[in-house]
Structure 1
Amino acid sequence: MGHRAIRNRFLIAFAALLALLPAQAQAWGFYAHRTTAAIAMENVRPETRAGIARLLRAAPELGVEGCDLASLEDASTWPDCLRKDYWRWGYTFAWHYRTAPVCEAYEPRANCSGQNCILAQIERNQLILSDESLPANVRLEALAFLVHFIGDVHMPLHSGDHDDRGGNDIDTAYGIAPGLNLHWIWDGPLAERAITSSPVPLVRRYTAAERAELGGGTSADWGRESWETSRDFVYPNAFDRPACEGEDLPDETALTQEDIERAIPISQKRVTQAGIRMAEYLDAAFAPGALPEPERD
């Protein structure tokens, strides 16, 4: 059998395997989300870890069948599991992103009417989580949304857009694997490779200096970072040209191995930042009186 025939058989088998994967396993909402939660648990205060454990005992009160919620890693993927019950949870689906055109000025308050975007929901759910007067199940739901959205906002294409639904409309080959899209690649295979190929485990206790370098900021800051990363790296890397110069970008492209190698450290950093910042937000939420009053429009 010739090399071309072998390659074609491999591609067909690979595409079939991808099609069989459950939706949750294909998304950043599975492997990378759980990694960010594991990083956070390694870096929160003991009091925060104990507070999380207490809230997790209220999981049966949420009345959600088929969605595990026994750990912070479970919590980080729980909001994606809710997609199977659109009739009950559909109103939350717009909370997972807030894309903004990469070739226009960034406005953190745009496209977020009624707090229906990720930036507002991160701050809202942290405030709910911090309110000890609320029932445990209410705070647990907020915990799950908070940790999930902190992960989502760090994926560049949940913030950056080039009139393509954050890369969803761009047919993109991933090395020799065809038939994907740019958003899907950054959500799944690229994030997984970035995590597993790190020379130093991403899930570990970080030093104070590392936490100072990687942490800090607010949801609006993190959204801007992701938007800038989309504009300055994701789109240029995918199309070998600046995102906002010349003709419109085509609706298909391919990431070479060189493109993928350049993207790996970017993805690693975003996953790590999400975990460290998640730890900071959780520590603040479990420290009564540490949170400011919410901003109002």
Structure 2
Amino acid sequence: MRAFFLLIAALVSLAATPAMAWGAYGHRTVASIAMKNVTPRTRAEIRRILHAAPELLTPDCPVKSLEDASVWPDCVRGEGWRWAYTFPWHYQNISVCKPFDIKAKCAYGICVTGQVERFARLLADRRLPAEQQLEALMFLTHFVGDLHQPLHVGENEDLGGNRVKADYGIAPGLNLHWIWDGPEAERAISSANPPLVRRYSAEEKARLATGGVEDWAKESWQVSRDFLYPAAFGKLPCDGDEAEHVVWSEEAIQKAIPIVDERIERAGLRLAKMLDKALS
């Protein structure tokens, strides 16, 4: 019982922090999947680029691995005076109550889909100094993860569920976005069988590492529209009747697990494919 109340306290304290897609555990898992599945040459190039980390001058956000790189763009939010201009790059709020439009909420490429494409091009540019390639590597790794979190794309004028107070089963005091970033993702990843971090077969890669940035965004939007919002509200709340407080039930938790696992797998394998293209 004491452990249960400690868990609730931890969840409540985490809910008070800014939302980060998939949380650190999810982002690091995406990066680990990618590292397991890139070519040896790409892996060597990643390690070469990581040597430029001291040039970043972000000692509070050290980067020694691709896993560290995957959380760096959220870590530097602590220095808003320096990095605030990057904050809108993490998401693209496309309404689940309107037809999907990849151009929505992305003026001048200031959104997650625009930045994934931008940083992929920057990473592939061998003319850039190593520290600029490292920034491109870190943002690309992080934003591919963000793009696969459904509430970083599909939403209902509620900041991707951040304005929706929600209980995670019997644990109170969270919001819908944070549930998907944290406890739902952690439960799905930790219970996956086989483990998500592994070397995938050619057949698995052919099935999961498909499409381009617009396809990935539409997948996330569809998960929000077809599953996530109906599971939270009992229906797709498109008539201005979205409740301010919901319960993410045990039934929803269980149904979400395979969806989350596939989103993480796809993100990791698609990232690996992008890194191979840019660096090999």
TM-score interval (norm. to shorter) = over 0.9
Unaligned stretches of 5+ residues in structure 2: none
| Residue of structure 1 in register with 2:86 after alignment | 92
- Is the alpha carbon distance of 1:112 and 1:42 closer, same or farther for their aligned partners in structure 2, counting shifts above 3 Å? same
Residue 23 of structure 1 and its aligned partner are, at CA, apart by 4.4
Matches within 5 A, 1:1-297: 13-21=6-14, 23=17, 28-244=22-238, 248-287=241-280
SS of the residue 2:193 aligns to: coil
Task: Give the whole-Å Cα distance in 2 for the aligned partners of 1:195 and 1:213.
Answer: 20
Q: Distance in 2 between matches of 1:135 and 1:168?
A: 38
Alpha-carbon contact 1:198-1:268 (below 8 Å) kept: yes
Structure 1 stretches lacking a partner, 5+ long: 1-5, 288-297
Identity percentage of aligned residues: 52
User: Separation in 1 of the partners of 2:3 and 2:156?
Assistant: 32
Contact 1:35 1:271 in 2 (8 A): yes
The superposition leaves residues 155-193 of structure 1 with CA deviations (integer Å, 9 ceiling, x where unpaired) of: 000001112111111111111101111100000000000
- RMSD of the TM alignment (CA)? 1.9
1: CA distance between counterparts of 2:272 and 2:99? 30
Larger mean CA deviation between 213-222 and 230-239 belongs to: 213-222
Q: Max radius of gyration: which structure?
A: 1
- The normalised TM-score by structure 1 is 0.89
Q: 1:84 to 1:121 in 2, by over 3 A?
A: same
- TM-score for the superposition, normalised by structure 2: 0.95
- C-alpha distance in structure 1 between counterparts of 2:40 and 2:268, whole Å: 16
The one-letter amino acid paired with 1:193 is R
Query: Contact 2:12/2:172 (CA < 8 Å) preserved in 1?
Result: no
CA contact (8 A) 2:21 2:146 kept: no
Matches of 1:112 and 1:175, distance apart in 2: 35
Structure 1's consecutive aligned runs of 4 or more residues displaced over 6 angstroms after TM superposition are: none
Deviations 1:39-89 (A, max 9, x none): 000000111000000000000111112102110000000000110111111
Structure 1 position 26, deviation (Å): 7.3
Distance 1:152 1:26, change over 3 A: closer
Q: Which stretch has the larger CA shift, 70-79 or 251-260?
A: 251-260
- The amino acid across from 1:261 in the alignment is Q
Deviation at 1:19, TM superposition (A): 4.3
8 Å CA contact 2:165, 2:245 repeated in 1 = yes
Q: Report the alpha carbon displacement of residue 242 of structure 1 after superposing the two structures with TM.
A: 3.4
